Amino acid sequence: MDFIEHRGRHFREELEERLRLLYVALTRAVHAVHVYWVDRGPLPGGDAQAWEWAAIDLLIQQAQKRLDLIEGEASLEVMTEALGGMRLSAPFADSFTRYQTPIETASPRATQTPLPRSRPFQWLHSFSGLTRYAAAAVVDDRGAADETGMEEPAVIADEPVEAADDSRLLSLYPLRGPRFGDAVHQVLELAKPGPVWPEQRQLLHSQLTAQAVTANSEALERVGKMIDRARQADLGDGLRLIDVSAEHRIVEFEFQFPVQQVPLIRLRQLCIAHGRPDAVPASLDAMTLNGMLTGFADLILAWDGRFHVLDYKTNWLGARLHDYQGNSLDAAMAEHHYPLQALLYTVALHRYLRQRLDGYTAEHQLGDSWYLFVRALGLAPGLGVWRHRWPVALIEALDDAFAGAQEVAA
C-alpha cells in the first residue's frame, strides 16, 4: 500500500470519527438539537477527498438517495416531512438579535443561616508524633527509628563511675543508628531456636545488608554474638528470650484505638496522682489527642501467668557497663521519654486483653514493661534491663480517659 492509499484511509477514518461525534450529538439531546447546514454542491468523490466532507453533508446526501430525492437544498423540505421528527427553518433573513439589559426587580434579602461550627481536626497520633514536640530527637516508634546513634553519657555524681571501658561494648561502637537498630530488630524477630552465630549467618547478612549496614565477617560475628547474649541472658526471675515459644508471644504487636478530645495535661495529672509524675513530659501539656492512637510494640509475651510488653533498644549509651544500669539507665529512658511509650503500650495491651480474655483482670494478668538495651544484655546480671510494673489504677484511669464518657458508661 503506497502513501496515497494510506492517506486516503486516514481521511476516511477521520470522517468516520466525525460521523460518530455527530451521531452522539444528535442522539443525546434532551429537548432539541439545532443543526446548521449550507448546500455546498455535490460531494467530491473518493477517500482522497474525504477530508473535504462535512459529516452532516454525508448524512443528508445518503437520506436523499434512499428517498429517491434530488440532492441539494431543493428537496430538504420533502426529506424532513418524510423522515419526521425534524423541522426545517428558513435561512437568516435580516433580523438581528441584540443584547437587552435584564430588568432588575427588587427582592427581599433572606437572612443567611450561620455556617455550622467546624469539627475539630482528627489525627493519627503515635508516640513519635507526641515526642516530636518534646526534647528528645525521636523520629518513629516502629522498629528502631527512635534509637539514636550518638553517645549520650549520663554521669551521676552520687555513684562511683567506672574508669575502664568495656571492650565488648567498644567493639560494637561503629554499629549504631536507626538502620542498625532495624536490622537487629528483624534478626530478633526472625531468628530460629538455637544460636544465631554462626548457624544463622545468612539471616544476619541479609538483614544487615537490607539496611545498608556493613556486613563483613567481623561485623557479622560481633552482631551475632551480641544477639546470642541477648537471647540467652536472664532478664529477671529466670526469663530468657530464647525460651519463649512462638505460641506464647506476639511479634510486632500493632494497636490502634480512638481518642476523643483528650488533653495530655489530663494524662499527666493522672500520672502524678498515681505516683508517676515523670511519665508524661510537661512540655506536652498544650497538646490534645483527637482521632486515633496507634503504635507497634516489639514483643508481647505470656510468662509466669501474666502478659508483658517488651521493646528492644540498640541505643549507644556509652562504653561502660555502668551506663546500662541503675540511675544511668533511668536517665537514658527519661531522655527519650520511653516511660511514656511503655505506658501507652501497656494501656493498649490492657485493652486488647480485656476484649479477648474472659474474666480478665489487670490486677492478676497484666504484666510488666521491659525495655531491653540489647548491647549490654548478658554482659552482667541485670545489665541493660529496664523493668516496671505500672499501677493497675493508673492503667484503668488512662484507659477511661482515652475512651471518653460514652465508652466508660457502656
pLDDT digits (tens, 9 = 90+) for 280-313: 988 888 888 888 999 999 999 999 999 999 999 9
C-alpha cell at 144: 528502631
- Report CA 247 to chain centroid distance, whole Å: 29
For 183-230, give the secondary structure using H, E and C. Answer: HHHHHHHHCCCCCCCCCCHHHHHHHHHHCCCCCCHHHHHHHHHHHHHH
Distances (CA, A) of 11 to 54, 60, 130: 12, 20, 66
pLDDT bracket for residue 153 (50, 70, 90): very low
What is the predicted pLDDT for the residue at 102? 73
What is the predicted pLDDT for the residue at 133? 66
Q: Is the pLDDT of residue 156 over 50?
A: no
- Averaged pLDDT of the chain: 85
Peptide bond into 198 cis (omega under 30): yes
Rounded Cα–Cα distance for residues 185 and 197 (Å): 16
Residues 163/323, Cβ–Cβ less than 8 Å: no
pLDDT tens profile 45-97 = 777 777 777 888 888 888 888 999 988 888 888 988 888 888 887 776 566 55
Residues 248/303, Cβ–Cβ less than 8 Å: yes
What is the predicted pLDDT for the residue at 94? 61
C-alpha cell at 265: 495535661
Rounded Cα–Cα distance for residues 312 and 251 (Å): 12
pLDDT tens profile 224-277 = 999 999 999 999 999 999 999 999 999 999 999 898 888 989 999 999 999 999
Beta-carbon contacts of residue 55 (< 8 Å; ≥ 6 apart): 15, 18, 19, 21, 22
Residues 366/346, Cβ–Cβ less than 8 Å: yes
What is the predicted pLDDT for the residue at 366? 97
Rounded Cα–Cα distance for residues 146 and 333 (Å): 12
Q: Is the pLDDT of residue 406 over 70?
A: no
Q: Is the pLDDT of residue 138 over 60?
A: no
Rounded Cα–Cα distance for residues 258 and 290 (Å): 8
**Which of 132 and 349 is assigned the larger pLDDT?**
349
Q: Is the pLDDT of residue 157 over 50?
A: no
Average pLDDT over residues 334-345: 94
Rounded Cα–Cα distance for residues 296 and 298 (Å): 6
pLDDT tens profile 174-204 = 999 999 999 999 999 999 999 999 999 999 9
Q: Which of 342, 340, 338 is nearest to 279 (CA)?
A: 340
C-alpha cell at 150: 550518638
What domains are there in the chain, each with its CATH number? 3-83 (no CATH), 123-409 (3.90.320.10)
pLDDT tens profile 106-132 = 777 777 788 888 777 778 888 888 877
What is the predicted pLDDT for the residue at 144? 56
Q: Which residue has the cell 492503667?
A: 395
Average pLDDT over residues 308-319: 96
Q: Which of 205, 372, 235, 216 is nearest to 297 (CA)?
A: 372
DSSP string, 238-275: T--GGG--GGGEEEEEEEEEEEEEEEHHHHHHHHHHTT
Rg for the chain (alpha carbons), in Å? 39
- Best-predicted range by mean pLDDT (44-53, 112-121, 159-168, 333-342): 333-342
SS3 148: coil
pLDDT tens profile 358-400 = 999 999 999 999 999 999 999 999 999 999 999 999 999 999 9
Q: Residue 126 class from Cβ within 10 Å (0-12 exposed, 13-18 middle, 19+ buried)?
A: buried
Rounded Cα–Cα distance for residues 153 and 204 (Å): 29
- Report CA 83 to chain centroid distance, whole Å: 63
Give percent helix, percent strand, percent coil of the chain, each to the nearest 5: 45, 15, 45
Burial call 3-16: b when 16+ CB within 10 Å, e when fewer: eeeeebeebbeebe
Residues 4/41, Cβ–Cβ less than 8 Å: no
Q: Is the pLDDT of residue 409 over 50?
A: no
**Which of 200 and 409 is assigned the larger pLDDT?**
200
SS3 6: helix
What is the predicted pLDDT for the residue at 297? 95
